[in-house]
Chain A
Amino acid sequence: MASSIRECVWRKEEGMKKKRVWFKRRYAALHDLGISTEDLQSRTLYQDAWKRLKKNKVAMVSLGAIIIIAIIAIFAPLIAPYSPYETDPFNNLQPPSAEHWCGTDNLGRDILSRIIYGARVSLLVGIVCELIAVPIGIIMGSIAGYYGGIADMVISRIIEVLGSFPFIIFAICVMFILGTGIMNVFIALGVIGWLGHARQIRAAVIQLKSQDFVEAAKASGASDFSIIFRHLLPNCLSTVIVIATIDIPSDIMFEATLSFMGLGIQPPQPSWGSMINEARAFLRQVPTYSIFPGIAIMILVLAFNTLGDGLRDALDPKLKNL
C-alpha cells in the first residue's frame, strides 16, 4: 500500500511539473500578445472570497466597526473616562452631560465607562462560545455524516433532544444547577451552540462524501481520520466560517438576555443586558440610562450580522443577490 501511495505522490508531482511548463508556455504566448499575466495568476478560493468581500462596502464597514469595538474593549482601562465601579452618590441618575456623555446610573457610576467595559463581556461571550461550539459541532457533525448508521442515529437523537428545550428553559436549568456567572453562561451557550453547527456540517459531509475525490482518497488507502480532516472538512470550511460568524451575534444576544433576566453576568460587573435591567427601575427619571446599552448591543449585533451576510455572499457567490 505504501508504495502505491508513493507512486500517487510521484505522479501528482510529475503532473504538476508538466502543468507548470504548460502554464509558462501559455503565459509567454500571452505576453507576446500583450496580455498581462497578472490577471491569470491562480488564486485560492479564500483569496477570491476576500476580493469579493472587499468590494462589499457594507460588510467592510461592519468589519471596521467590529475591529474598533474590539480595540475599545481591549484597551478599556485607557479609553474609559471613569472607572466602571467608582460610585458617586452625589451625582447619581444624571442625564447626559459634558462630563458624563451618557449620564450616570443610580449609584453615580459613569454609564459610558460601564458600556465600554461591557463590550469586553459581549465580545468574550461571542468568541468563547464559538470556540466551544465549533469544535464540538465539527466532530459530532462529521462523525454523524461520514459514518451514518448507528452513529448518525445516536448523534441526531442527541441533537433533537437537546434542541427540544426552548433555549431560555435550558439556560434556566443550567443556571439552576451550576449557578450564575460568566463561566456558566459559556457552558450553557456552548452546550446548545454546537447543535446547529453539527446539523449543518453533517449535511455538508453527507453531500461531499459521495464525490469522486473522497472515493479516490479511500481507494488510495487513506484512513477515515485523514479523509475527514484532510478531504471533507477543508471543503466545508467556508460553511463553518459562515455559521460561526452568524452565530456570534446570537450568542451575544443570548448573553444579554440571560444577564437581563438576572441569570447571567452578576452585578457589579458591567454587562449590557444587566445594565438595561438595572435601568428599568429608573425609566421615569433617566430614560437615557436604558437606551444607551441597548444601542451598544444593537450596533455590535448589527455589525456581526451584516459581516456574516457579506461573508456568505463572498464564500458562496451562488447565493448572492438573493
Chain B
Amino acid sequence: MAKYIVSRIGQTVIVIILVTLLTFVLINIAPGDPAQVMLAKRADEATIARVRAELGLDQPYHVQYLRFLNGLLHGDFGNSYFQKEPVLRIVVRAMKITLRLGALALLLSVGIGLLNGTLAAVFRGKWVDRFLMFLAMIGVSAPVFWLAVILQLFLGLHFKLLPISGQEAPGWMIMPVICLGVSHGASSARLVRTNMIEALNQDYVRTARSKGLSEVVVVGKHVLKNAGISIVTLVGMQLRSMISGAMVVETVFGLRGLGSVSYNAVTARDIPLIQGCVLYTAIVYVIINLVIDLIYGVLDPRVRLA
C-alpha cells in the first residue's frame, strides 16, 4: 500500500511539473506582446522596454520559466494586468464559488443517480425502468446551458420563484445547483443502474433472497453495499466533469466563479490571470484525481497491485 501511495504521488508531482511547463509554453506562444497589451496603445518604445524589463520578459525563456516556477513555489502567481490584485487571490475567490456550486450539485446528482438508478435496476424491464431511463437519456442529451436557460425561463421569469442571475438575492445558488445536479444526475442514474444490475445477479443476492429477507433489505443492505466501489467511481467521474459544467453554468447565471473569471481574462488578454486560472484548476484537478485513485487503492486491492 505504501509503495502504491508513493508511486502515485510521484506520478502526480511529475504531472504537475509538466502542467506548469505546458501552461508556460501555451502562454508564450500566444500572439501579442504582454507589455504592449498591458500598456495598450498609449505607450512609447522606451516605456514598453522598461515594462518588459520589469516583468522579466527580456530574459531568455528558461530563466523566465525558472522564475515562474520559483514564484509558484512561493504561492506567487503574479499580478493581474488590469485588476491590480494578486492573481492567486482572484483565482482562489473564484474557485471557492465554483467548488461550492460543484460540491452541492455533486450531492444532488449522486442522490438523484442512486435513487433513480436503484429503482430502475430493481424494476428492470418494467415501465418504471423504461420511464426513468428515458428521462435519464433526455437529461444526458440536453445541453446543461440550455437547461439553465429553460430553468431561468420557468422558475425565474414565469413563476418568479428564484432570482435569475447574480449572487446577491437570497436563493441565488438554488437554480445553478438544480441545473448542474439534474444534468449530471441523469448520467449517474445510468451508471448506477448498470452496476446495480450486475450486483443483483450475484450469488449472495440469491442467498439473501432464499433466506427470506424482504426485497428492501436485500437491495438496501446487500446490493447497495457491494455497489459501493461504483459509487466512488461515480463521484470521481462526476467531480471531473463537474468543474467544466460549473464553469458553463456560472456564465449563464452571472456568478463570479472560475468560468466567468477565466472567460473575462481571455477577452481582456490578461495573461497572468489566464495562467493562474489554468494552472490552479489543473492542480486542483490533478489532486482530486490523486485522492480518488488513493481511495480506490484502499477499497479495491486489485488496483494497487496492478
Kindly specify which of B22-30, B111-119, B225-233 makes contact with the partner chain: B22-30
Return the chain A residue nearest B281 by Cβ: A169
A157 touches B15 (CB 8 A): yes
Contact A176 B266 (CB under 8 A): yes
Report yes or no: B15 in contact with A161, Cβ–Cβ below 8 A. Answer: yes
Binary contact track B1-44/A, C-beta < 8 Å → 1, others 0: 00000000001001100110010001001110000000000000
Contact indicator A164/B141 (Cβ below 8 Å): no
- Residues facing B in A126-184 (CB within 8 A) are 157, 160-162, 164-169, 172-173, 175-177
CA distance A187 to B230 in the complex (A): 34
> Which of B26, B138, B198 contacts A322 (CB under 8 A)?
B198
CB of B153 within 8 A of CB of A287, answer yes
Complex Cα distance, B138 from A322, in Å, reads 19
Q: In the assembly, what is the distance between CA of A165 and CA of B241, in Å?
A: 11
Q: Which residue of B lies closest to A299 (CB)?
A: B141
Indicate if A8 sits at the interface (CB-CB under 8 A). no
Contact with B along A1-34 (1 / 0, CB 8 A): 0000000000000000000000000000000000
| Contact in complex: B281, A260 (CB < 8 Å) | no
Residue B123 lies at the interface, judged by CB distance under 8 Å to chain A: no
Contacts of B157 in A (CB 8 A): 283-284, 287
Q: Does A257 contact B (CB under 8 A)?
A: yes
The interface on chain A, measured as residues whose beta carbon lies within 8 A of the other chain's beta carbons, has a size of 42
Interfacial chain A residues near B143, Cβ < 8 Å: 253, 256-257, 260, 273, 276, 294, 297-298, 301
Q: Which A-chain residue is minimally distant from B124 (CB atoms)?
A: A321
Interface pair B278/A165, CB less than 8 Å apart: yes
Asked if B162 CB lies within 8 Å of chain A CBs, one says: no
Q: Among B137, B259, B289, point to the contact of A302 (Cβ < 8 A).
A: B137
- Determine if B141 and A276 form an interchain contact, defined as CB atoms under 8 angstroms apart: no
A294 contacts B19, CB within 8 Å? no
In the complex, the answer to whether B244 meets A276 with C-beta atoms within 8 Å is: no
Residues from 127 to 166 in B contacting A, C-beta threshold 8 Å:
137-138, 140-146, 149-150, 152-153, 157
B282: Cβ under 8 A from any A Cβ:
yes
Which chain B residues border A273 with CB–CB below 8 Å?
A: 143, 145
Q: Which of B254-302 contact A (CB under 8 A)?
A: 259, 262-263, 266, 269, 274, 277-278, 281-282, 285-286, 289
Contact of A160 among B15, B150, B152, B240 (CB under 8 A): B15
Interface residues on B, range: 35 or more
**Interface presence of B251 (CB below 8 A):** yes
Contact B247 A168 (CB under 8 A): yes
What is the count of residue pairs linking A and B with beta-carbon distances less than 8 angstroms?
Answer: 126
B29 to chain A, nearest CB (A): 6
Contact A297 B247 (CB under 8 A): no
CA distance A169 to B26 in the complex (A): 12
Asked whether A261 is an interface residue with its Cβ less than 8 Å from the other chain, the reply is yes
Chain A interface mostly helix, strand, loop or mixed? helix
* CB-based nearest B residue for A258: B248
Smallest beta-carbon distance B20→chain A, Å: 10
B64 in the interface, Cβ–Cβ < 8 Å? no
Interface: A269 (CB within 8 A)? no
Contact B266 A294 (CB under 8 A): no
Chain A residues whose CB sits within 8 angstroms of the CB of B269 once the complex forms: 176
Interface check B223, CB cutoff 8 A = no
Residues of B whose CB lies within 8 Å of any CB of A are 11, 14-15, 18-19, 22, 26, 29-31, 137-138, 140-146, 149-150, 152-153, 157, 194, 197-198, 240, 243-244, 247-248, 251-252, 259, 262-263, 266, 269, 274, 277-278, 281-282, 285-286, 289
A-side residues, CB < 8 A to B, are: 157, 160-162, 164-169, 172-173, 175-177, 249, 253, 256-257, 260-261, 263, 273, 276, 279-280, 283-284, 287, 290-291, 293-294, 297-299, 301-302, 305-306, 321-322
8 contacts between A and B (CB under 8 A): A165-B19, A167-B244, A168-B248, A276-B146, A276-B149, A297-B143, A299-B141, A302-B141
Instruction: Knowing that A160-B15, A257-B144, A301-B142 touch, tell me 15 more A-B residue pairs with CB under 8 angstroms.
Output: A164-B19, A164-B289, A169-B281, A172-B263, A176-B266, A257-B145, A273-B143, A276-B143, A283-B152, A283-B157, A290-B150, A298-B138, A301-B143, A305-B140, A322-B197
